[in-house]
Every structure is written in structure tokens, then in C-alpha cells.
Structure 1
Amino acid sequence: MSTVKKTVEVDVPVHTAYNQWTQFESFPKFMDGVEEVTQLDDRHNHWTTKIGGVQREFDTEIVDQLPDERITWRTVSGDTKQRGSVRFERVDDTHTRVELVMDVETSGPVEKVGDLIGSIDRRVKGDMERFKKYIEEHGTESGAWRGRIKPGDTSGPAL
């Protein structure tokens, strides 16, 4: 399993950066290879990706979400295995540090070679730079979900 860690500083307040990140269906606008994200409920998303000519579909579950601080997820179905966390740190009233850490298990020869030559690392770096550009150009979030999901809580999010 490979670990990728990327950080960018965005010129928007922490709540704006966090709120935009909760709009999972907007990810194809700034994430390379992400064709579609469908939010199934407060915890679950269905992803369709096409990277290096290989199309994959998988589902993720949010296991921890604390507004303006972090969102942590893992895959729960499909042939893509990953887990990760995005953290939001207030720098000042108008700047936020966004840190993404992902553990990705590659499958198949194309992905394994891509991982060896740094493709995953470069893709994530590019995604974070495109997120920065996306949120700074818009200046405001396209929506928000401010609910709390606690680790180990399977009854649904606490609002």
C-alpha cells in the first residue's frame, strides 16, 4: 500500500474550503480521472474513475467527519482499495491549509507501474492544486454539509 501526502494553502476561510470539500459530486471538476461521484447518503459515495485507460467503480464510506477540521474515509466495495483523510487548518481569517493523506493499494499491472514511477503522487498533487484554483476562483463554496460523523457510529450522523 502506498501513502501519498499533499498539502496546499488556499486563499479562502477554513469553513469555505471545508464546505466545498463536502460537495463530493463536484470532485470531477478538479480531480483528474474522476468521471463521476454520486452521493448515496451522508456517509456513502459511489465513484466512477478512469485512469490510464482503466475504468473503476467503487464505493466509499466516511468514517469520521468533523466540520472545519477533517473528513476520513475508506473504500467499502469495488476493486479499488484506499483510505484517507483530508484535514483543514485555519492559517488566518482568509487562508486555510488543506492536507490530504491517502493510502492506496494498487491493483493490476498498469496501476502498479504507475505507482512505481510516481503517477499517483503526481495526480494527487495536481488534484490539490486544481482544488486550490477551483475554490479560489469561485471564492465561495457551491454547497455545504456540516454534519458530524463519529468513528464507530453506524446509526447515522449526528447533526
Structure 2
Amino acid sequence: MSTLEEHIDVAVPIDRAWDGLHRVEDYPRFMGGVRDARPRAEGRARLDVEAGGRLREFEAEVSDHREEHVMEWHTTSAPELTGSFSLHPIDEGHTRIQARITYEPGTIRETFGGPKGFAQANTIERLVRSDLEHFKEYVEQGR
């Protein structure tokens, strides 16, 4: 298993950043490849993701630890992905968002296509970094 950790600072209070992460239907606005996203009952979400030239459907279970400002998630079928978002207040108007994703590189390559090894790790890092940058724009613009 590989683990990727990235963070970004956003110029919004922690509650606004938290609310932005929970608007599942807005994920296509800031997550690369996500074409459609819908919340489901019982802490689940469904995402339609275009990757490797194909559209794939994923279901994820989400659990919140609101008092600690931590959202954890994992896919309920292949590929096995787990992750979390931890929010940390910097001051009243700024928040640090820490993203952590755990994945099996071989499974990701089989599911999404793409190169092996280091090149694939770089691709995933760029994707996560880009998604965080887009989330920053999304939440700071008050959408």
C-alpha cells in the first residue's frame, strides 16, 4: 500500500471549509475526473469518475468526526481506496486542509490505466494537488 499526504491552506473559516467538503453534489466542480456525484443514505456517496478513457461508478462510505473536523472515507468495492480530510484552524479566517489517501498502486493502474511506479505516484500527487487547488478556489469564492 502507498500513502499520499498533501495539504493546502484556504482563506475561509474552518466551518465554511467543512461545509464545502460535505457538498458531495459539487465534487465535479473541483475534483478532476468526477463527472457526477450524489450523496446517498447512511453516510454513502456515489461518484461517476472518468479515468483511463472510461466512465466508472464508485460508492464510498463516509464517516465524520465533526468535533475533530475529520472526514474519513473508503470505497466499498474495487479499487480499494481509503482517505481522510483533516481540517485545522490557522486563525479565525484561515484553515489548513490535510488530505491523506491510501491506495494499492497496482490496483490503481489496472483500474485507471497509466504508468507504473514512480511515474504513477507523481500522477496521483499532481491530481490530488490539483484537486486541492480547485477546492481552494471553490470554497474561497463562496460557492
Q: Give the TM interval when normalised to the shorter protein.
A: 0.7 to 0.9
Q: Which runs of 5+ in 1 are unaligned?
A: 143-159
In the alignment, what sits opposite 2:15? 15
Change (3 A) 1:107 1:13: same
2:130 to 126, 131, 134: 126
Residue 85 of structure 2: aligned partner? 86
8 Å contact kept, 2:109–2:115: no
From the two aligned structures, give the one with the greater helix fraction: 2
Code of the residue aligned with 1:103 in structure 2: it is T
Are the structure 2 counterparts of residues 116 and 55 from structure 1 closer, same or farther at C-alpha, using a change threshold of 3 Å? farther
Residues of 2 paired with 1:98 and 1:135: CA distance? 12
Gap regions ≥5 residues in structure 2: none
Q: Which residue of 2 aligns with 1:147?
A: none
Instruction: Determine whether 1:116 maps to 2:118.
Output: yes
**Kept in 2: contact 1:18–1:68 (CA 8 A):** no
**Using the alignment, how far apart are the partners of 1:51 and 1:114 within structure 2?**
16
Match of 2:94 in 1: 95
Q: How does 1:63-78 map to 2 (within 5 A)?
A: 63-67=63-67, 69-77=69-77
Rounded Cα–Cα distance in structure 2 between residues aligned with 1:116 and 1:65: 33
Q: Deviation digits for residues 67-124 of structure 1, max 9, x if unmatched?
A: 56110011113x3220000000000000000010011231417535166311111000
**Alignment size in residue pairs:** 138
CA separation of 1:42 and 1:91: change in aligned 2, threshold 3 A: farther
Superposition CA RMSD, Å:
1.9
1:30 and 1:127 in contact (8 A); partners too = yes
Over 3 Å off, 4+ runs: 109-112
Contact 1:5/1:102, CA 8 A, preserved across alignment: yes
Q: Could you tell me how far apart the structure 1 residues matched to 2:93 and 2:116 are?
A: 37
Residue 108 of structure 1 aligns to a residue whose secondary structure is: helix
Give the direction of change, closer, same or farther, for the CA distance of 1:98–1:109 in structure 2 (3 Å limit): closer
Give the distance between the partners of 1:65 and 1:86, measured in 2 at CA.
10
Q: Secondary structure at the match of 1:38?
A: strand
Rounded to whole Å, the distance in 1 between the matches of 2:14 and 2:41 is 24
Answer whether contact 1:62 1:73 (CA < 8 A) is retained: yes
**Superposition TM-score, scaled by structure 1 size:** 0.79
